[in-house]
Amino acid sequence: MYKDMSKEQLVREKEKIRSVYDQYKAMGLKLDMSRGKPAPKQLDLTEDMLLHCLDGEFISENGIDCRNYGVLDGIYEAKRLFMPMLGVGRYEIIVGGNSSLCMMYDSIARAMLLGVLGGKKPWSKNDRVKFLCPAPGYDRHFAICESMGIEMITVPYRADGPDMDMIEDLVKKDEEIKGIWCVPMYSNPTGITYSDEVVKRFAALKPKADDFRIFWDNAYCVHHLTDTPDRLLNILDECKKTGNENMVYIFTSTSKISFPGGGLAVLAASEANINFIKDQMTYQTIGYDKLNQLRHARFFKDYEGVQAHMKKHRKIIAPKFETVLKMLDEEIAPLNIGEWHKPHGGYFISFDGLDYTAKRTVQLCKDAGVVLTDAGATFPYGKDPRDRNIRIAPTFPTVDELRKAMEIFCTSVKLAAVEQLENQK
């Protein structure tokens, strides 16, 4: 174990690892593991959606020509795919365009410019707007806040979700806190799923701001990796029980079910929220791409079709997660220089190295041809206070590429660790 080594031992160890690292570097690899991208083989699974599922029949069940204008909130057969997925009714959902990120951005832009249901004025009419950001989290959530000048308050994660004591306390006393980002299932990047207690405590929040919203990004709700998937309590149902049904916006998409950038995005919320949002949205667009909605409805048929399809994804990506976890178990665990969680689903493995080693590790990987998400990206303002979290995205490379990339990753983790420990001596 590195931590027990003397300075001299560490220097010798460093030289040993360095020579291994230099050999990898000399191989001139080029691998991009920076984003959670499906592999081409996964995209092949929905090929028929692009080829034959429309086949000259463009009329929706209820007689709408999907090639022409109209239908702001999505065709019903598309809604029906997502209603059981999110546990919401037909008047509690909007099927939108190709990007749930865009739906989240637009929801915040509308809140800033126009306000939300029950709010007295647009968010932007306040001197300051603040968001709670459980971290490590999704960098693009935090980037939206940063781009709009929304102040971010970092909330730490526990084993079963974000620190609810802190959240309850903060929203109760600070009217400037208007929202919180959550990835409640197979969280990006930690992989954990919020416990029932955490969901219930979210639903029971008593925010001081009457225009506070939970941004519940349920991106990975059907992205299971095991036969015993996690279960997430239905936040909208819980909010109805507490009389807080207008407090939550739920998002999901098929970006990692059908096509990233060519899929469907979904917003679900209380009927009152949905009606309010539709009234605002009608100025932005006449409607989203109903042909693509029809493609999805025809291809998947129903929610059971989506679930069956996700098993095919699992078959492709589960071995990749296993490869990463196996190598971490073999290479890093015995040295006690890192921690990680074995996720039951989602797209990421969140790795915590020794304090103050993440930036160095990512740089070492990059120099050896393996591009990872920037260290710090999983925290507000890109600043990981302990500089230890690295997001590993195993889905895009092949298993062989991944094995090589993980050899380089593990070597880099070790090198960064001994360097750091040596400096502390």
Interface with a copy of itself (CB under 8 A) = 35, 37-38, 40, 43, 47, 50-51, 54-56, 58, 65-70, 97-99, 101-102, 105-106, 109, 112-114, 124, 140, 143-144, 146-148, 255, 259-262, 280, 283-292
Residues 6+ apart with CB under 8 A from 129: 112, 123, 148, 149, 150, 151, 176, 178
Identify the helix (H) or strand (E) that includes residue 317: helix 303-327
Task: For the CB of residue 40, give the shortest distance to a copy of itself in the complex, in Å.
Answer: 6
Residue placing its CB nearer to a copy of itself in the complex, 106 or 217: 106
Task: For the CB of residue 379, give the shortest distance to a copy of itself in the complex, in Å.
Answer: 17
Q: Tell me the residue type at 236.
A: L
Residue placing its CB nearer to a copy of itself in the complex, 114 or 316: 114
Task: For the CB of residue 258, give the shortest distance to a copy of itself in the complex, in Å.
Answer: 9
The token pair at 365 is 């990987």
Residue placing its CB nearer to a copy of itself in the complex, 87 or 115: 115
Q: Which residue has the tokens 């929304």?
A: 150
Under a CB-based contact definition with an 8 Å cutoff, are residues 388 and 353 in contact? yes
The token pair at 234 is 């239905």
Task: For the CB of residue 179, give the shortest distance to a copy of itself in the complex, in Å.
Answer: 16
User: Rounded to whole angstroms, how far apart are CA atoms 25 and 14?
Assistant: 16
User: Rounded to whole angstroms, how far apart are CA atoms 104 and 109?
Assistant: 9
Residue placing its CB nearer to a copy of itself in the complex, 284 or 398: 284
Task: For the CB of residue 131, give the shortest distance to a copy of itself in the complex, in Å.
Answer: 14
Distance from the Cα of residue 217 to its chain's centroid: 7
Under a CB-based contact definition with an 8 Å cutoff, are residues 82 and 175 in contact? no
Residue placing its CB nearer to a copy of itself in the complex, 47 or 169: 47
- DSSP characters over 187-222: -TTT-----HHHHHHHHT---SSTT-EEEEE-TTTT
Task: For the CB of residue 287, give the shortest distance to a copy of itself in the complex, in Å.
Answer: 5
Task: For the CB of residue 182, give the shortest distance to a copy of itself in the complex, in Å.
Answer: 19
Task: For the CB of residue 337, give the shortest distance to a copy of itself in the complex, in Å.
Answer: 32
Residue placing its CB nearer to a copy of itself in the complex, 159 or 286: 286
Distance from the Cα of residue 313 to its chain's centroid: 17
Sheet holding 389-392, edge to edge: 338-340, 349-353, 389-392
Residue placing its CB nearer to a copy of itself in the complex, 89 or 262: 262
User: Rounded to whole angstroms, how far apart are CA atoms 391 and 88?
Assistant: 31
Which residue, 80, 123, 91, is CA-closest to 276? 91
**Which 8-state DSSP code applies to residue 329?**
I
Residue placing its CB nearer to a copy of itself in the complex, 108 or 325: 108
Residue placing its CB nearer to a copy of itself in the complex, 226 or 398: 398
Task: For the CB of residue 194, give the shortest distance to a copy of itself in the complex, in Å.
Answer: 25
Under a CB-based contact definition with an 8 Å cutoff, are residues 185 and 224 in contact? no
Residue placing its CB nearer to a copy of itself in the complex, 66 or 209: 66
Task: For the CB of residue 289, give the shortest distance to a copy of itself in the complex, in Å.
Answer: 5
User: Rounded to whole angstroms, how far apart are CA atoms 15 and 1?
Assistant: 16
Alpha helix locations (H) across 328-398?
A: 358-367
Under a CB-based contact definition with an 8 Å cutoff, are residues 38 and 260 in contact? yes
